[in-house]
Amino acid sequence: MPTILNIPVQTESVWRPNFGDQRAMHAILFCALEASDPALAVQVHQLPVKPFSQALLRQGDQLSWRVALLDDSLTESLITGLGRLPDVNILAHSVQLQLDRLTTYHQPYASLVQAKPQSKYRFQFDTPTTFRQGKLSHPMPDPYLCMQSWWTRWNQFAPVAHQINAAALDVAYAHLAISHFNMGSRTWADGHRRYVGGVGRMSFHVLQAKQLADEWWQALATLVAFGPFCGTGYKTTMGLGQTAVLN
């Protein structure tokens, strides 16, 4: 059952997280799993597709750590492990995870497959979003790449009974178009490599909707609803691709 943990973070000063900070939180997550269940930490680390996304997010003066878990077995172990960690330092910043103010949000896979189809979907990409294409990065979250990203993770972690046929990607390619965007670019360094990603708002419109069978309407709606849990695109476990669906 996909679960979002939102943990307020107390800091000594106001600062905006960079990619190094996000990578540090990735490491802290694994330290917490290891503190609670070492075998589980090793198992998750070895998975080619990780069952979580995470990012530090700032809204005004408030910093929070948002962790979305796609596997039920992680939730209790992560919360327990976080409680066992000593004081947390993120590069040059001393922070306190306010676990007593932790909130959770759950959405069973069986509920996501009943998400209401829409003729238009609006998104907020809160952290840089990019897609790997060979050795290049594609910083514009176009409909097909988004759906492909969500579909891959959905079929990796959803129960077999709720798997979505790959033909849904053909439907997305033929029937989803960008109808509006207000995006900016952000760059970050990962070792000697530099990447560019998009942040901001974007809308997808369903074209020739009357030609879509109910199965594909529902498949698109399900993948959209899953996006905020799995994140979008590249390095979602290290703070990138944080996605919100706007009403």
pLDDT tens across 86-129, in order? Answer: 776 666 677 889 999 999 999 999 999 999 999 999 999 999 99
Which secondary structure element, helix H or strand E, spans residue 217, and what is its range? helix 214-230
Work out the percent of the chain whose per-residue pLDDT is above 90: 76
Higher pLDDT, 247 or 62: 62
DSSP 91: T
Is the same domain home to 25 and 88? yes
pLDDT for residue 19 is more than 80: yes
DSSP 116: P
Is the same domain home to 75 and 120? no
Q: What is the CATH number of the domain that holds 15?
A: 3.30.70.1890
- The CB density around residue 142, as the number of other CB atoms within 10 Å, is 18
The predicted pLDDT at position 236 comes to: 97
Is the same domain home to 74 and 153? no
Work out the percent of the chain whose per-residue pLDDT is above 70: 97
Is the same domain home to 94 and 187? no
Q: Three-state SS across the chain?
A: CCEEEEEEEEECCCCCCCHHHHHHHHHHHHHHHHHHCHHHHHHHHHCCCCCEEEEEEEECCEEEEEEEECCHHHHHHHHHHHHHCCCEEECCEEEEECHHHCEEEECCHHHHCCCCCCCEEEEEEEEEECEEECCEEECCCCHHHHHHHHHHHHHHHCCHHHCCCCHHHHHHHHHEEEEEEEEEEEEEEECCEEEEEEEEEEEEEECCHHHCCHHHHHHHHHHHHHHHHHCCCCCHHHCCCCEEEEC
Vertex 28: Cα angle to 37 and 152 (nearest 5):
80
Is the same domain home to 131 and 204? yes
Overall number of domains in the chain: 2
The predicted pLDDT at position 148 comes to: 98
pLDDT tens digits, residue range 177-200? Answer: 999 999 999 988 777 778 899 999
Is the same domain home to 161 and 221? yes
Q: What is the CATH number of the domain that holds 212?
A: 3.30.70.1900
Query: CA-to-CA distance for 56 and 35, rounded, in angstroms?
Result: 21
The predicted pLDDT at position 89 comes to: 67
pTM of the predicted model, to two decimals?
Answer: 0.94
Let me know: does 169 contact 148? Beta carbons within 8 Å. Answer: yes
Q: Looking at residues 162-188, what average pLDDT do you find?
A: 96
The predicted pLDDT at position 247 comes to: 75
Is the same domain home to 231 and 122? yes
Higher pLDDT, 6 or 137: 6
The predicted pLDDT at position 190 comes to: 76
The predicted pLDDT at position 108 comes to: 96
Is the same domain home to 139 and 223? yes
Average pLDDT, the chain: 92
pLDDT for residue 65 is more than 70: yes
Is the same domain home to 119 and 233? yes
Domain that holds residue 226: 113-246
Query: CA-to-CA distance for 180 and 117, rounded, in angstroms?
Result: 19
Query: CA-to-CA distance for 208 and 230, rounded, in angstroms?
Result: 28
Which one of 106, 124, 159 terminates a domain? 106
